[in-house]
Amino acid sequence: MTYFDSDGHQIAYLDEGQGEPILLIHGFASSKMVNWVQPGWVKFLTEAGYRVIALDNRGHGQSAKLYDPDLYSSPIMAEDARRLLDHLGIEQAYVMGYSMGARISAFLSLNHPERVKRVVFGGLGGGMIHGTGDPQPIITALEADDPSEIKHVTGKAFRQFADQTGSDRLALAACMKSARQKITVEELSGLSVPALVAVGTRDVISGKAQELADILPHGEAVDIPDRDHMLAVGDKVYKEAALEFFKRDQVAD
């Protein structure tokens, strides 16, 4: 496992392949392995000729586990991503985030547009603006001592996922208390980076892809057919759309 220091916190990452760099930022309660390696993204993109970098967000995977919600805002987590690019000496990269990772990617693109060549927002459409629902049932489920007492369907699903992946559920609870900042229409309408929004047509969490794409000055949408929030992650339509989007710069060159 490879690590770097981000503002005093140890962040794990992988760096594979050669070519133009793509930085991948995973979703809540996931990891670089669960979100990007296991669904075949790293293999897919390295075989397409890209250098693929993926980090474990703070509180997730092999990275530092923190228990203060103030340390988990999306802008702070975006700085972890920016520092990873600094650590690797990468001036500019393609960026793709999924769900929470899409929100982090948006803050990275807004605050450091010169570092982002193109960005893909996966698994988060209109929810980037409106929010994605009440986080409290998920927080309560993650903090519960006895999982058998959890009745809330979504909370129970997140708790089971956290337990199955061996995650630090209290670190995830702290993250959930802080990491879901909405971004205003005014802010997003000023995003200078070309952006692709990809959301499953059966995703009831993320909001519609087109709603977000319509706000972005250089935005476009792709609907991932017949996929919900979980199944869209490794879908072929999503992969092909993202690859085509990244390759446009090569065609222009």
Q: What digits encode the pLDDT tens for the residues 22-81? A: 999 999 999 999 999 999 999 999 999 999 999 999 999 999 999 999 999 999 999 999
95-99, 195-199, 204-208: lowest mean pLDDT where?
Answer: 204-208
pLDDT at 186 over 70: yes
Average pLDDT over residues 198-211: 96
pLDDT category at 182 given cuts 50, 70, 90 is confident
CATH architecture of 7-131+184-252: 3-Layer(aba) Sandwich (3.40)
161-165, 178-182, 228-232: lowest mean pLDDT where?
Answer: 178-182
* CA–CA dist 248, 77 (Å, integer): 28
Structure confidence by residue, pLDDT tens digits, 95-144? 999 999 999 999 999 999 999 999 999 999 999 999 888 899 999 999 99
Average pLDDT over residues 166-189: 91
pLDDT attached to residue 22:
98
pLDDT attached to residue 179:
63
Which of 77-91, 147-161, 172-186 ranks highest by mean pLDDT? Answer: 77-91
Average pLDDT over residues 194-217: 97
pLDDT attached to residue 133:
83
The residues, ordered by sequence, that sit 6+ positions from 77 with a Cβ below 8 Å of its Cβ are 57, 58, 104, 107, 179
Nearest to 133 by CA among 82, 99, 86: 99
SS3 of the chain? CEEEEECCEEEEEEEECCCEEEEEECCCCCCHHHHHHCCCHHHHHHHCCEEEEEECCCCCCCCCCCCCHHHCCHHHHHHHHHHHHHHHCCCCEEEEEECHHHHHHHHHHHHCHHHEEEEEEECCCCHHHHCCCCCHHHHHHHHCCCHHHCCCHHHHHHHHHHHHCCCCHHHHHHHHCCCCCCCCHHHHCCCCCCEEEEEECCCCCCCCHHHHHHHCCCEEEEEECCCCCCCCCCCHHHHHHHHHHHHHHHHHC
Instruction: Let me know the angle formed at the C-alpha of 147 by 169 and 203, rounded to the nearest 5 degrees.
Output: 70
Nearest to 233 by CA among 117, 49, 100, 55: 100
Average pLDDT over residues 181-200: 95
pLDDT attached to residue 253:
53
Question: How many CA atoms within 13 Å lie on the side-chain side of 243?
Answer: 17
Which residue has 């990269």 as its token pair?
93
pLDDT at 249 over 90: no
pLDDT category at 1 given cuts 50, 70, 90 is confident
pLDDT attached to residue 181:
75
Q: Where are the domains of the chain?
A: 7-131+184-252
